[in-house]
Amino acid sequence: MKNKGLKMNASIIIPTYNKADRLNITLKFFTYQKTKNNYEIILIDDASTDGTLQIYEKYKNIINISYIKNNVNKGRSFSRNIGVLNSKNELLIFCDDDMIISSDFIKNHMQVHNNNDSDLVIHGLIYELPYLKFFKNPVTGEFFENIDNANISALKKYWSCPTKIFLANS
């Protein structure tokens, strides 16, 4: 895939179901992106009943986002596939509706794809946000009671900045 020097465009696919409050935070962080590349966000609402449409309405004139609503709840995988079918760009980035992303999230993904012969990138890293107590330890499955430096170190292995490349051409 080596695309050194090629300016790629990305489609960020975000499936969601009844997580309007968390989605609001995720989309807010997309307003801070530092990239010269074009990107679109495709929000797939899996029949939410909690105000997800209002969150989309809040951001539709701030970021390049489109909204698709499933008539009935079909699950995260089905919703991701709807996002893929509606994407317009060559690079697909899947994002959960409760991710806290860095301001270089998209730029870093594009750099990894441009500089490596890879077809898939896995990400991991999160900001220290003590008020976010809904996170579970990905190893133990237990909720973090306090987000401290030790917990942040554990979380950094799993969220929001490209860190590991799987080569598809080997």
- The domain in which residue 61 lies consists of 10-166
Number of compact structural domains in the chain: 1
- Give tens-digit pLDDT for 155-165: 444 444 443 33
Residue-by-residue DSSP string for 119-152: SEEEE------TT----B-TTT-PBPSS--HHHH
In a domain, 44, yes or no: yes
Q: Facing residues of 123 across strands?
A: 162
Q: How far apart are CA 65 and CA 45, in angstroms?
A: 13
Please report the sign of the dihedral spanned by the C-alpha atoms of residue 109, residue 31, residue 95, residue 157: positive
Residue 57 in domain:
yes
- 93 domain residue, yes or no: yes
The string of pLDDT tens digits covering residues 67-96 is 999 999 999 999 999 999 999 988 888 898
Q: Which domain CATH number covers 136?
A: 3.90.550.10
Reported as a single tens digit per residue, the pLDDT across 29-50 is: 899 888 877 899 999 999 999 9
What's the CA dihedral at 14, 66, 118, 102 to 10 degrees?
-60
Could you tell me which residues are beta bridge partners of residue 93?
Answer: 12
pTM score over 0.75: no
CB atoms within 10 A of CB 126: 22
Average confidence score pLDDT of the chain? 75
Q: Residue 2 falls within a domain, yes or no?
A: no
**Is 5 a domain residue?**
no
Higher-pLDDT residue of 150, 80: 80
